[in-house]
Structure 1
Amino acid sequence: MSKAYDRVEWSFLCQMMLRTGFASSWVEFIIYCISSILYFIVVNGKVREGFHPTRGLRQGDPLSPYLFLVCSEGLSSLMRLARQEGLVEGARVNRRGPQISHLIFADDCIYLGKL
């Protein structure tokens, strides 16, 4: 099961930071911080060749919740726009309740709708 942190596309994060007013120098610095990590895997007690991730935010990184909020706000805006244009119809909990198209939590997103 993948979590929302694992699915954050860096290009989307970059665009969202720029559109919300981050200076381009800060955006470059933040993208460098999240993309410069190198992971190593140990198999049978031997360290294998390292690899760089291509997307996602690290659990436990103090910056990750804030970056996730930037992405969440962008996704929320896109969902509101899609609902206004009739592209998405949210689900109702009961007949008189409001339509809910998405729920955003501290580190996860849930999308609801009719098929």
Structure 2
Amino acid sequence: MIRVKWAFLKEVMLRMGFTEEWVSLVLRCISTVSYVVTINGSRGNVFKPTRGLRQGDPLNHFLFLICSEGLSSLIRLTTKEGSIKGVKTSKRRPTISHLLFADDCILFGEVIEK
């Protein structure tokens, strides 16, 4: 299950240069959903999610890529600040802090004792 906070998606889209109007339209598309659970033919209460992307939504793939870019940027910033440290495959190679593929994220790090 994808648990994307809509505020995070909004902030990433704005920082990527999307206009306020476009971001607002996208957020309305993903946040106006509501669900009803039916048990034994009886309809339950209506509830509205406060985060997440719906399975099967045609926008999901693009929105997930935008969120992945936001996560990647945060990891790079944290690495640059020295809060986390990636690993090197050899002395002359760059440091690897994370790899993203589809909906998977692998984090590489070194334990820093203080």
Which structure 2 residues correspond to residues 1-40 of structure 1 after superposition, within 5 A? 3=1, 5=2, 7-40=3-36
Aligned length: 110
RMSD: 2.0
Matched, 1:109 2:83: no
Who wins on radius of gyration, i.e. which is larger?
Answer: 2
- Structure (1/2) with the larger strand percentage: 2
Normalised to the residue count of structure 2, the TM-score between the two structures is 0.83
Equivalence for 2:46? 50
Structure 1, unmatched stretches of 5+, are none
Residue identity opposite 1:64 in structure 2: N
Query: Residues 47-84 of structure 1: CA distance to partner in whole angstroms, max 9, x if unpaired?
Result: 21111110011121110110111111111111111111
Matched, 1:86 2:85: no
Residue identity opposite 1:54 in structure 2: T
Distance 2:33 2:19 in 1: 23
Identity, in percent, stands at 53
Q: Of 49, 69, 75, which residue of structure 1 is paired with 2:71?
A: 75
1:95 CA drift (Å) = 6.2
